[in-house]
Chain A
Amino acid sequence: MEEEMHTDAKIRAEIGTGCSPRGPGCSLRHFACEQNLLSRPDGSASFLQGDTSVLAGVYGPAEVKVSKEIFNKATLEVILRPKIGLPGVAEKSRERLIRNTCEAVVLGTLHPRTSITVVLQVVSDAGSLLACCLNAACMALVDAGVPMRALFCGVTCALDSDGTLVLDPTSKQEKEARAVLTFALDSVERKLLMSSTKGLYSDSELQQCLAAAQAASQHVFRFYRESLQRRYSKS
């Protein structure tokens, strides 16, 4: 990936945040993450991507309702709450996307007949919301100590009308874009876990976006690592 990534430039020591000055349309926005900020859940994280911010809490492995019990693995549940109002159809659809991604990496078989619940609260939406939700969920799962096969992250790409690729777009950029693609990738094989697209794009454009997302995921994972290192080295 040619684009210059700045995610690792500075990491704020105290709360484990990093930020990147926005490059000429192609770099990621500045990142920030705080873990273990809620006392009731088993794990929690707040994730910031630019002005987009999502708060995540993970409960589990805990007792499961008999009706939802699965005898050979944990029941994974994702609840996404919008900033205002009640969850609607769009939230339901995102919930499913996030749950499917989590299910692919969480080692549920280690905790049969339990429930793992991920609750995501949108704090502010300024573009790339689904990617931010995925990142917040991953950090919260890590904080809760849920065993996972790999970490995962979400990256959103937008293609505007003349085919320029924008990573981690803002909501304005998303609105103007011809197509918006969100991918979830795992940290071990860098393989695709989930993709959700909207709009018109060609075959080669999809490949191009995927390559860009894979490159960007390296930086996200590096940010994960550093943010965690900060946290644990301190205590």
Chain B
Amino acid sequence: MLKSKTFLKKTRAGGVMKIVREHYLRDDIGCGASGCAACGGAHEGPALEPQPQDPASSLCPQPHYLLPDTNVLLHQIVSAWRLGTWASVASSLRLPGSLETYVEQEQGENANDRNDRAIRVAAKWYNEHLKKMSADNHLQVIFITNDRKNKEKAVEEGIPAFTCEEYVKSLTANPELIDRLACLSEEVNEIENGKIIFSEHLPLSKLQQGIKSGTYLQGTFRASRENYLEATVWIHGDNEENKEIILQGLKHLNRAVHEDIVAVELLPKSQWVAPSSVVLQDEGQNEEDVEKEEERERMLKTAVSEKMLKPTGRVVGIIKRNWRPYCGMLSKSDIKESRRHLFTPADKRIPRIRIETRQASALEGRRIIVAIDGWPRNSRYPNGHFVRNLGDVGEKETETEVLLLEHDVPHQPFSQAVLSFLPKMPWSITEKDMKNREDLRHLCICSVDPPGCTDIDDALHCRELENGNLEVGVHIADVSHFIRPGNALDQESARRGTTVYLCEKRIDMVPELLSSNLCSLKCDVDRLAFSCIWEMNHNAEILKTKFTKSVINSKASLTYAEAQLRIDSANMNDDITTSLRGLNKLAKILKKRRIEKGALTLSSPEVRFHMDSETHDPIDLQTKELRETNSMVEEFMLLANISVAKKIHEEFSEHALLRKHPAPPPSNYEILVKAARSRNLEIKTDTAKSLAESLDRAESPTFPYLNTLLRILATRCMMQAVYFCSGMDNDFHHYGLASPIYTHFTSPIRRYADVIVHRLLAVAVGADCTYPELTDKHKLADICKNLNFRHKMAQYAQRASVAFHTQLFFKSKGIVSEEAYILFVRKNAIVVLIPKYGLEGTVFFEEKDKPNPRLIYDDEIPSLKIEDTVFHVFDKVKVKIMLDSSNLQHQKIRMSLVEPQIPGISIPTDTSNTDLNGPEKKKIKLGK
């Protein structure tokens, strides 16, 4: 034993604990070189190669091992695995022969110096040890450190030492490795001119003091998408005023990057500004543009009225960086042979990053990943290094990868640890599984899903009971039977939160074995289910509700179309068809009753791509079609969700996982009401019911599409529905469904929230045992937070995927002219919707290099007058759609006005003018 330490500690309960710490040195750690006689088999785990392959270093031609300093290792971890000779990493983490290489901290020596000395001692020991082992092959250990003093000392002690850069540069065989070196701020300083742009960040201790005393505020930094010189900081805590602070100007932003946690200081009221409405993109390529920058900043501060001023501040320090690797593209430097280039991230909120690379020409036109290393005070841009090449721009795989990465969707294959918790195949239902389970295999159950669906999580049945009532059952895949709380599989699904459906790909929440096989309620196989069974009379009034775990055997998996066909055809009278007819009849009553209560029927243009089965290229676009059977399934799912929500809230009033949809503030409806008024229609928005009714009434005989447009607008006014823990909130109302309580129960294969709800319900009906985390409302609130985030991100990723496929579609299709309706009118643009493709885009009427047309915007109606033509909301126009590839990073669909014709604005109908620098700049955003 080396030393022991004894001390007494008070426990939280007031007791006293005696703690004895003993420190031993191991004598069983070998050097790791395979075939070392002295260490024998003492070494386990990865071994050093007996003959290190020659990395062809000009500095040390003999075969050698590398011993990197821990700092080097930390900085270069990304590049480390690329180098064949880094095998010694594993053994350097636990110093070999620890009896000989143990170093005690000397008096007056700080921990860092001690560690440095320990590594030097280890390097020395290695060299002597290897010499002993084989006198003839001159194996050497090269010490790699970036610490100048450490290197000097090592050389003094006779250890061959180099800095990381020196060594990597000497590797003649792999010249591209130098790019991957994380650049250190030190080296950059030498090259850079000394002009300091930013003020210094305060140290953490000072920040904490300032935050405590209230001079500084802590918040999350959110850069603006439109204007790179502007950002907002969301202040943490419940402080109502000063919730959001505006930062303007490069100096006040002070090197903060989107999502960082920062400390800000409020500026005096005289310096407060209003958020500018200018769109600014960082286009400067040069370092010396700082003066120009200041000019631009002044431009932001245009005259504004007193009341528009918002609290304004400046960043004084960074509390936590939230840097991640960013996707984007290289903007090659104008100077030939230059190795330093700017990288433009795909996310406009991230500043451009300076990287050093020799392979710029190879990386041009590719999507790459870059990591930020630091942001020195004298640099206009942060410094970073190249990490990975994703592939060519516009390639389907590359773009999919980019949108998954950018939306933080976990999409890696499931790890071995996760897969180890899957049931062993071949799987069958055992006696143990049947405990607490009802056998419902005799029932005539069927599932109705969209075509091509492999993760079937719901099935239905309906039969007449002897007393004349109807028994209706909703059977949901029993995913919680397979995903046990706390294991790796559970943690991974909780992290993913939801399955993400992209146009041509599905990112599963649970491994495929479960999602497409064991949990999928396929026909003619026994499957475990969680059933919700009601006894109803013919008026669809619930007389009895029962929840039970069960075993079912689905008799048919139908598509919506097939189910519809069965219901409609008069000559089919088998069990499944009668069951479907019964369900359909009840669903209609349920829907009517729900709408009477004030549930909203909203609409959003949904598109579906017809894919080429070979190339997976979209061949055609189509808006989704709705059948009676869609609403039949939906109706019963809603009913099941509401019944389950009531049950779990009854049983767990403090920790039920529910879903709520808050009523939107009245101001959200302004756009809708104004738009309807312009068509002489009245929309009432005081309650959900009156909104639903007035939407139903808003019909125009000459304009049948108007109603859909109004519903699309109404959807935009809504708030986001969120998961929450019942113990943390007291407003449970679901506005859209007009239900006092709601949860998600019916899709556990693709939503983690449903898994938790299944567990809660299972405990409530005594079918499963509980576990501590389930009844911890803070843990549950954390889960809800993650789920809400993942759902939002999944939605964004889906939209981005649709947008990308729309681009592909129009690329192949060329230029088309289509009819469109105006959805919104803006100060300098109109937003239009093309019903044929469910496509939405913005038509801009202003461009910076061109003389601006005369624009008169009226906020009240709202309308926009361009020259002599007036545009109102819902006006029908004709637009030309084309793909704009002028910006490779953000390819977009451009729309230009064809009808009505405005001289100088619209393009003539008959010319095939594809000049992208035409007088109108038109951009498109999709499926918002």
A interface residues with partner B (beta carbon < 8 Å): 89-90, 92-93, 96, 198-200
Contact = CB atoms under 8 A, between A and B. Distances in A.
A198 B19 CA distance: 11
Contact of A200 (B4, B9, B15, B16): B4
Contact of B1 (A89, A92, A200): A200
A120 B10 CA distance: 21
Contacts of A199: 4, 6
A199 B6 CA distance: 8
B6 A89 contact: no
Contacts of B1: 200
A92 B6 contact: no
Contacts of B4: 199-200
Interface in B1-22: 1, 4, 6, 8-10, 15-16, 18
Contacts of A200: 1, 4
A192 B9 CA distance: 26
A89 B6 CA distance: 13
B9 to A, nearest CB: 7
B591 to A, nearest CB: 63
Nearest to B14: A92
**Which of A89, A90, A199, A200 has the most CB atoms of chain B within a 10 A radius of its CB?**
A89
Contacts of A92: 8, 10, 16
Contacts of A198: 6
A33 to B, nearest CB: 29
A90 B9 CA distance: 9
Contacts of A90: 8
B8 A93 contact: yes
18 contacts: A89-B8, A89-B9, A89-B10, A89-B16, A90-B8, A92-B8, A92-B10, A92-B16, A93-B8, A93-B16, A93-B18, A96-B15, A96-B16, A198-B6, A199-B4, A199-B6, A200-B1, A200-B4
Contacts of B8: 89-90, 92-93
Given A93-B16, A200-B4, 16 more contacts: A89-B8, A89-B9, A89-B10, A89-B16, A90-B8, A92-B8, A92-B10, A92-B16, A93-B8, A93-B18, A96-B15, A96-B16, A198-B6, A199-B4, A199-B6, A200-B1
Contacts of B15: 96
Nearest to A90: B8
Nearest to B1: A200
B27 to A, nearest CB: 18
Interface in B373-411: none
Tell me whether chain A's interface is mostly helix, strand or loop, or mixed: helix
A198 B10 CA distance: 18
Interface of B: 1, 4, 6, 8-10, 15-16, 18
A200 B6 CA distance: 11
A205 to B, nearest CB: 15
A199 B9 CA distance: 17
Nearest to B22: A200
Contacts of B9: 89
Nearest to B4: A200
B24 to A, nearest CB: 12
A92 B16 CA distance: 7
A198 B7 CA distance: 10
A93 B9 CA distance: 9
A96 B6 CA distance: 17
Nearest to A92: B16
**Which of B10, B16, B18 has the most CB atoms of chain A within a 10 A radius of its CB?**
B16
A73 to B, nearest CB: 21
6 tightest A-B CB contacts, nearest first? A93-B16, A92-B16, A89-B8, A93-B8, A89-B10, A198-B6
A74 B16 CA distance: 23
Contacts of B18: 93
A198 B4 CA distance: 10
B7 to A, nearest CB: 9
A117 to B, nearest CB: 18
Contacts of B10: 89, 92
A90 B7 CA distance: 9
A96 B16 CA distance: 9
Contacts of B16: 89, 92-93, 96
Nearest to B17: A93
B887 to A, nearest CB: 67
A142 to B, nearest CB: 28
Nearest to B3: A200
**Which of B4, B10, B18 has the most CB atoms of chain A within a 10 A radius of its CB?**
B18
Nearest to A96: B16
A135 B235 CA distance: 63
A119 B6 CA distance: 27
A29 B8 CA distance: 29
Contacts of A93: 8, 16, 18
B11 to A, nearest CB: 10
A90 B8 CA distance: 7
**Which of B6, B8, B9 has the most CB atoms of chain A within a 10 A radius of its CB?**
B8
A200 B791 CA distance: 59
A89 B10 CA distance: 6
B658 to A, nearest CB: 42
A91 to B, nearest CB: 9
Nearest to B10: A89
A188 B10 CA distance: 35
B19 to A, nearest CB: 11
A100 to B, nearest CB: 12
A92 B18 CA distance: 11
A200 B18 CA distance: 16
Nearest to B9: A89
Nearest to A89: B8
A90 B18 CA distance: 9
B3 to A, nearest CB: 10
B396 to A, nearest CB: 66
A198 B9 CA distance: 15
A96 B9 CA distance: 14
Contacts of B6: 198-199
B100 to A, nearest CB: 23
B163 to A, nearest CB: 44
A89 B11 CA distance: 10
A70 to B, nearest CB: 18
Contacts of A89: 8-10, 16
A227 to B, nearest CB: 33
A93 B15 CA distance: 8
Contacts of A96: 15-16
A200 B8 CA distance: 17
B5 to A, nearest CB: 10
A198 B15 CA distance: 20
A200 B1 CA distance: 9
A201 to B, nearest CB: 11
Nearest to B18: A93
A198 B20 CA distance: 9
